[in-house]
Every structure is written in C-alpha cells, then in structure tokens.
Chain A
Amino acid sequence: MERLRTGRFWLGFYTLAVMAFLIYLPIVLLITFSFNDSTIMSLPWSGFTLKWYEKILERPDLLESLLNSLWVALIVTAVSLVLGVLAANAMARYRYRGRILFTGYVSIPFVMPWLILGISLLLFFNWVGIQLSMFTVILSHISFTTPLVAVLVAARLHQFEPDLDSAARDLGCNALDAFRLVTFPIIAPAVIAAGILAFNWSFDAFVVTHFVIGSEVTFPIWVWSALRYPRNLPIINAVSSIIIVVEMGLIFLAEWLRRRGGGERLL
C-alpha cells in the first residue's frame, strides 16, 4: 500500500512537471512578455507596460484579419455541419453495400496531411482557373472540416440502436420527423462538439490557407507574416494573450453551462 501511494505521488508529480514545462512554460512566457517594455523578448525585465495592447487598436490590418477569420470560420462551420451530418447518417444509420467504402472515402481526408491538401487545392484552383480569394479559402477549409464533423457524429451514431429510428418510422414518423425528433436529440452533443472543433480548425488553419489565399489576410496568415518583423512581435504577444484568456473563458463557460444544464460532456 505504501508503495502504491508513493507510485501515485510520483506519477502525479511527473504529470504536473510535464504539463508545466512542456505545455505551459511558453504560454506563460508569452503572456508575461506581452507586458514587457521592450521589443526584445529576453531577460532582464525592462519594465511593465500596456502599450502593446494599445497598439493592437492602431493596426487595422490585424483587426481586419481577425474579422476575416471569424466570418470564414462561421461559414465553414455551418456548411461542414450540414455536409458532415449527412455523411455521418450515411456512414452509420444505413446498412448497404459500399458502406465501408463510403466511410473510407469520407475518412481519408481526415488523415491526409494538411500540406498535401493545401498544394493539391492550389494546383486545382489554378488548373480550373478560379482566382484565389477568401472564397477559395472557405472551399478549402470545408474539405477538412466536413470529414472531422462526419467522423465525430458517426462515432456518436454508432453508439445508439439504429432500431430507434426504425421504431419512430414504424410509429408513423416520416424520415424528416424521425431525424428531427429521435436521431437529432441523440447526436446533438456530438454535433455541438464537432461544430466547436470545426470552428477552431478553420479559425486557426494556417497550412492550407497559406497556399490557397490570394492577397487577403486571415489571422494565422497575419501572424505568419508579422513573425518576420521584430517590431511586430510584442503585438503578437498581446493579441495572443487576449485570445488565450478569451478562449479559456469560453471553455470554462461551456463547461459551466453543461454542468448547469446537466447535459453531456462536450470535450
């Protein structure tokens, strides 16, 4: 028993140490240095300042990029939820020849490195003659968020008896009602979780966007180009700190709502 307890203690200690150094060290440094009165991010500490936060407002290009990422992510989430739920239905609610094949068809994009997706879409748009723009960015994001939604929702659908749906149909529901009244309430938690993830993937997508964006700028693209100019670095710190705090807040809010509503876990 004594050995068990020390084993548990050291494992816990190890877990916290890895989380602190490998996961949180850079994030804490990032937030700390957003208040440092110097463009060079190293010790010694040059004094406390809020000026980098004020500078965010002086950068219309940065605000525009954030706004662009926001509306792109909203459209991508909406479209990929529809396409993904349809695909998940076909993957999990029906029995037919070719079901495994269709599942593979939808899942392969899920494992494909984004770099390959990015270059092949660039070649494709170029070949078809579609000008690169926010529109091509949206089209490209949907290609990787749809499989994400499909895989997550299908996993949830697999857990429930397909007979429930048939039962509703036998009792007089039409297909749409059976979906609306029976299936959807069951998959709703997975759909919400998939929507949140799809939004995040699109908002943060850098690799694919890097290849298929024209002259416009999303937030990750702004960060990528800003990284080349040292005077921008503290502003990246400041805006990232704000995003980190907002996102942590949103996660805890979602969790709090879930506990309050007695719903299922989202994460």
Chain B
Amino acid sequence: MSAASMTRQARRVRFRYAFYRNLGLTLNIFPPFIYLMLLFYAPMAIMLVMSFWKSGFMTLEPAFTLDNYVKFFTTPIYVRAMVNTFLIATGSMIALILVGYPIAYYLARYAPQWESLILYFLIIPVEINFLVRIFAWKIALGRSGIINSALMSLGLIEEPLKFLLYSKTAVVIVLLHEWLPYVVIPIYLALKGVSPDVIDAARTLGSDRWSVFRHVLLPLSVPGLFASFVLVYIPMLGEFAVPALVGGPSAYMLGNVIESQFLSAGNWGVGSAIGFILLTITLALVAIVIKVAGVEELM
C-alpha cells in the first residue's frame, strides 16, 4: 500500500469518526435541550410576558403595563413580606453556617470511626416527606407542645412560650431543621478534600490549631460555603410551606404572597411579577457566586 493511499484512508477514518462523534453529540444534546426549552424556559418566558399584562381578579389580558410591579412595590403587606423573606432567609443562613460548620469540621477531622454513621443519620431525615416534618415541629413547638410542657414541668417558665409557634422564630427553627444537612455536607466535603500533608506542614511551621483553622482550613472550605449558599439560601427565598404552616401572618414571606395570588386571590399578573422579581434575584445571586468563586469551584 502506498503512503498516499494510507493517508487517504486515515483521513477517511478520521472523517467518519468526526461525523459519528458529531452525530452522537447532537443526539445527546437535543432531547434534553428541547424538553427544558418547552417545560422550563418557555414557561419562564411566559411568566415574564404575563407579568406585564393587564391583570384583575381572575382576568389577564395582553397589554404592556408596569401596573403589576407598581402594585407590588406600593402594597405595604407585599413589601413587608419581601423584607421578612430577606430577614428570615439571611438570619437562617447565618445560623445554619454557625451551627453546621462545627459539625462538618468534626466529621471531616475528628470522627473517622463515626463519620459514615453520622452522615447516614444526617441524610435519612431528608428522605422523609418535608410536609410531614414541618407538621412534626408543630407537635414540638405548640402552646401545649412538648417543649413548653417540658419547660413548665421543670419550673423554668410559668406560662407557655407563645413565640415558639406561629412566629418568625418557628420558621427559622424549621428551616434550620430542613437545611442543616445541605449546609453540613458541602462544607464537610470541602474540609475532607484538604490534604493532611497541608495541615502537617502548617503545624510543622509553627501554627497552633487556631491559626491552622484560620489560615488553612477556613480558606480551603470556602468553595463548600459557596455550594451550601447556592443549595440553601436560594430555595429559602422561595419558601412558602414553612411560613404557611408554622409562621402565621407575622412571618409571611414572598412565597406566601405568590401562592395566594395564584391559588386564592386570583391575580396572576401580580403573582407573575413577584415571581419574576424572585427569579431575577436568584439569577443575580448565582451570577455573583460564580463571579466570586469561579465556575470550576462549584462544578
């Protein structure tokens, strides 16, 4: 066989390879692309468009008006719901990191024999229906609930603590319960990924345990913190079942306003506008995290 025909054959093989490769890529891309286009992106676009439509009770007419947005920003209860949402979500996020970080640290550094057992017990409740777990908290937090009964029988309080249920406190407690595993596990994975050699090196060079934590472990766990922020803070902004069941009117969040616009107040235009505001906030937060942390850190 001549050299020329060999290269020709090689070229043909390479061409055929490239063709099938592209065909494979196309077949892989298209089904999920089209599905998400139809059942994720198109609905989002429709929500955006309808947020500008003229909207009344159970009516929605094509138009271009900012009325729905104006109505949202000028109605005090809606604005208060937005303030509540940020207060509750931010407060819970800070509390989650403060509560969860030591647990992640313990799991990653100090508990080789208990590590997987504790992780299992952290993950198991996630498998239990969330509404059921919110309801379980009502048993614990109610006026004659277990916590009040216990505190009263110990003589620590004379009357039931009213702020335990139907309050912002209750919402924060249930959110801590719901999201703790999602905060602990990414931080745990980040800390687990730190090579023991790095820590030994720091120790050898004279760092005490605090400065090892402050200058080595904490900076290296930042990707875990970002991951838990994306996993937890954003969904908390869209929460509505928790405030509806344990929060009461004083703890109503944006989610409750949106839900009632769609399912009881019948004003879909205002609901869409609030939904779109929440969507914009979500994408902005994700963009900030990607900008600060870098895509590679999160993937």
Contact = CB atoms under 8 A, between A and B. Distances in A.
Interface of A: 4, 7-8, 11-12, 14-15, 18-19, 22-27, 29-30, 33, 40-43, 82-84, 86-87, 89-90, 93-94, 96, 100, 102-103, 105-106, 108-109, 111-117, 119-124, 127, 139-140, 142-143, 146-147, 150, 155, 158, 169, 174-175, 200, 204, 206-207, 210-211, 219-220, 223-224, 227, 233, 236, 240, 243-244, 247-248, 251, 255, 267
Nearest to B256: A115
Contacts of A82: 31
Given A140-B39, A207-B240, A86 B135 contact: no
Interface stretch (B190-198, B214-222, B231-239): B231-239
A96 B31 contact: no
Nearest to B50: A123
B279 A112 contact: yes
B142 A42 contact: yes
B53 to A, nearest CB: 10
A107 to B, nearest CB: 9
B240 A18 contact: no
Interface in B250-295: 255, 258-259, 262-263, 268, 271-272, 275, 278-279, 282-283, 286, 295
Given A11-B110, A94-B28, A206-B131, A23 B180 contact: yes
A227 B263 contact: no
A206 B121 contact: no
Interface string B86-101: 0000000000000100
A238 B51 CA distance: 43
Contacts of A27: 125, 128, 133, 136
| Residue of B110, B173, B234, B245 contacting most chain A CB atoms (<10 Å) | B110
Nearest to A219: B129
Contacts of B29: 86-87, 90, 102
Contacts of A224: 131, 241
B206 interface: no
A42 B146 contact: yes
Mostly, the B contact residues are: helix
B139 A29 contact: yes
Contacts of B102: 11, 14-15
Given A18-B103, A116-B275, A26 B127 contact: no
Given A89-B24, A206-B241, A267-B123, 19 more contacts: A14-B102, A18-B99, A23-B122, A86-B31, A89-B28, A106-B36, A108-B283, A115-B240, A117-B40, A123-B43, A139-B39, A147-B36, A150-B32, A158-B299, A207-B241, A223-B132, A227-B131, A227-B135, A233-B135
Contacts of B40: 108-109, 112, 117, 143
Given A123-B50, A206-B131, A240-B129, A111 B234 contact: yes
B140 A42 contact: no
Contact of B275 (A120, A223, A255): A120
Nearest to A43: B149
A103 B50 CA distance: 28
B65 interface: no
Interface of B: 17, 20-21, 23-25, 27-29, 31-33, 35-36, 39-40, 42-44, 46-47, 50, 99, 102-103, 105-107, 110-111, 114, 118-125, 127-133, 135-140, 142, 144-146, 149, 173, 176-177, 180, 209, 230, 234-235, 237-241, 245, 255, 258-259, 262-263, 268, 271-272, 275, 278-279, 282-283, 286, 295, 299
B176 to A, nearest CB: 6
A105 B35 CA distance: 12
A15 B32 CA distance: 41
B30 to A, nearest CB: 8
Given A23-B125, A90-B29, A116-B278, A124 B43 contact: yes
Nearest to B185: A267
Contact of A142 (B39, B137, B271): B39
Contacts of A86: 27-29, 31-32
Top 4 nearest A-B pairs (CB, nearest first) are: A113-B238, A26-B136, A124-B43, A120-B43
Nearest to A222: B131
Nearest to B173: A22
B136 A116 contact: no
B93 to A, nearest CB: 15
A242 to B, nearest CB: 11
B195 to A, nearest CB: 18
Nearest to A146: B32
B130 A204 contact: yes
Contacts of B122: 19, 23
A102 B32 CA distance: 10
A98 B24 CA distance: 16
B132 A236 contact: yes
A127 B131 CA distance: 30
